[in-house]
Amino acid sequence: MSAQAMAALTLAAAPLKKGRTTTVQIPDDERPRYAIKTLDVAEEAQTPCACFVVPRGREHEFVFSSDEGLKQVAGSAKCARLLVVNLDPQRAGHSYGDVRAVQRELEPLIKDLAPPGAGTVPVMTAGNDLGRRDVVATGAMDSGDAYVVEQVLDGSRTLRRLLFRSNPRSIQTEVAVSKVKPPKTSNGKKKKSKAKAQWRVDGADVRSAYHRAILAAVATSRLDTAVEDVVLVGLGGGALATALQALLPAVKIRVVELDEAVVDVAERWFGFSRAGVDVTVGDGLTAFDDVSEADVVVIDVDAKDASLGMSCPPSAFLEPAYLRKVKRVLRPGGVCIVNIVARSEKAFSKAMVDLRAVFDDIRICDPTDDDINRVVVARMGSPPDRDAWRARLRNWCAAGDPLGLEVLLDRFDQAVFNVDTEALDACD
């Protein structure tokens, strides 16, 4: 074990100190079987220490991926120190038994990580099992990162996800998939085949709440005329581009994606099609050197350094010089929509200051109560009339609402049109 890992273990096993967190990987190499985070939430409690095993496929959820959510878990367990166990954090293909098998395997380490005199440490999980996660594809990217395509069971549904090794807890794209029934023979019987099961991507099922927030903002960005063209900086699995094609079939969509491998993954595994979409493989930071005009620019780019307070977008995409480039290509009334994932409120506040220095109006939408994504709408000119905006979005919903925007209507309306201006002012 490395000196760094030994130091982390020593710190984790120290007496309780409220506010302290540590993380260790077991084993300490490129294929860890476990990642264990310790959180000291109190100096003393009814239970000195408890251990929680996160089911596979649920690592990204707010309650399991953020300190705020984990403190809720610790509160439910009435413990002073919480040990949070993530299984196979790098998707290396490790197998596990049930919770008891994991408990037996980790028992010596749990004793070492518990505070002195803790006694027996209860081991818990959510649901009835440890979940299931199948890695269906991996590969290298031109950026030096690597991608993982995995499938997980969510109740009766199968979800396919795209993740990057540099930030394995952040889901880049999630789509619903279903097995394709094998063709039948002339006598009505199914053909026998040794080929792997085929899956169909349900492109109409927009899984991400923040994608729906972006769609609502795009669809209603212009109240006077129709939206003509949208520029997407960052493709991911292509779910947003696919949904935009369905929502606004007449709109010209341009995509700028840094990595050719990501475009290939989007086409092969996530149902994305280049048909009708202008795809440029290149740096999003220079994308607007060649773009003349646009109604909407969407910035949804992952940062590769997970240690930063903001994992989306990289800080360069919020620099005033870059934002002024975006502003120059927007037509009057155009909007810049940015997906921001910030675990640091200081980093988020800095982003708001930078955006407000360039654009006339800033609106924020929290897609759900516990979504770590925040959709920021930066507009040139005055904001739209509240009632007119609602009427425009309701018209989209009345047309059939295949993308499920109606369920977001009230939340989007409340979040966008009732911004906490005092909080924004405090950013200065």
* Phi, psi at 400, each rounded to 5°: 130, -30
Looking at every residue in the chain, the average pLDDT score rounds to 83
3-state helix, strand, coil in the chain (%, to 5): 30, 30, 40
Contact criterion met (CB below 8 Å) for 27 and 9: no
Q: Cα(222)–Cα(224) distance, rounded to whole angstroms?
A: 6
**What was the pLDDT predicted at 394?**
72
Q: Cα(359)–Cα(383) distance, rounded to whole angstroms?
A: 11
Sign of CA dihedral 333, 312, 234, 148: negative
Token couple for 389: 């905006």
The answer to whether residue 416 scores a pLDDT higher than 80 is no
Residue entry with tokens 């990217």: 141
**What was the pLDDT predicted at 368?**
76
Q: Cα(130)–Cα(175) distance, rounded to whole angstroms?
A: 22
- Strands (DSSP E) along 112-190, which ranges? 123-125, 133-140, 146-154, 157-164, 173-179
Alpha helical stretches, state H, 148-208: none
User: Which positions ≥6 away from 119 have C-beta within 8 Å?
Assistant: 48
**What was the pLDDT predicted at 3?**
60
Query: H helices then E strands: how many in the chain?
Result: 12, 18
First and final C-alpha spacing in the chain: 45
**What was the pLDDT predicted at 216?**
82
Contact criterion met (CB below 8 Å) for 192 and 211: no
Using DSSP bridges, classify how beta strands 34-40 and 79-87 pair: parallel, antiparallel or unpaired: antiparallel
Q: What is the mean pLDDT of residues 273-297?
A: 88
Torsion of CA 43, 49, 52, 53, to 10 degrees: 130
Contact criterion met (CB below 8 Å) for 241 and 231: no
Confidence class for position 322, pLDDT limits 50, 70, 90:
very high
Contact criterion met (CB below 8 Å) for 236 and 373: no
**What was the pLDDT predicted at 248?**
82
**What was the pLDDT predicted at 2?**
64
236: left (phi over 0), alpha (psi -120 to 50) or beta: left
Q: Cα(235)–Cα(27) distance, rounded to whole angstroms?
A: 34
More confident residue, 71 or 423: 71
Fill in the DSSP letter of residue 261.
Answer: H
Helix H or strand E encompassing 244: helix 239-247
CA 238, chain centre distance (Å): 14
**What was the pLDDT predicted at 140?**
93
Q: Cα(270)–Cα(237) distance, rounded to whole angstroms?
A: 6
Q: Which amino acid is at 257?
A: E
**What is the homologous superfamily of the domain 209-427 according to CATH?**
Vaccinia Virus protein VP39 (3.40.50.150)
Q: Cα(65)–Cα(63) distance, rounded to whole angstroms?
A: 6
Sign of CA dihedral 88, 143, 211, 411: positive
Write down the domain spans for the chain. 3-125, 133-202, 209-427
Q: What is the mean pLDDT of residues 195-224?
A: 78
The answer to whether residue 314 scores a pLDDT higher than 60 is yes
% the chain with pLDDT above 90: 37
% the chain with pLDDT above 70: 83
**What was the pLDDT predicted at 70?**
92
Highest mean pLDDT among 101-115, 353-367, 382-396, 414-428: 101-115
Contact criterion met (CB below 8 Å) for 221 and 227: yes
Q: Cα(63)–Cα(407) distance, rounded to whole angstroms?
A: 22
Q: Which of 317, 171, 303 is nearest to 237 (CA)?
A: 171
Q: What is the mean pLDDT of residues 121-135?
A: 88
More confident residue, 380 or 329: 329
Confidence class for position 143, pLDDT limits 50, 70, 90:
confident
Q: Cα(339)–Cα(214) distance, rounded to whole angstroms?
A: 8
Residue 47's DSSP bridge partners are 79
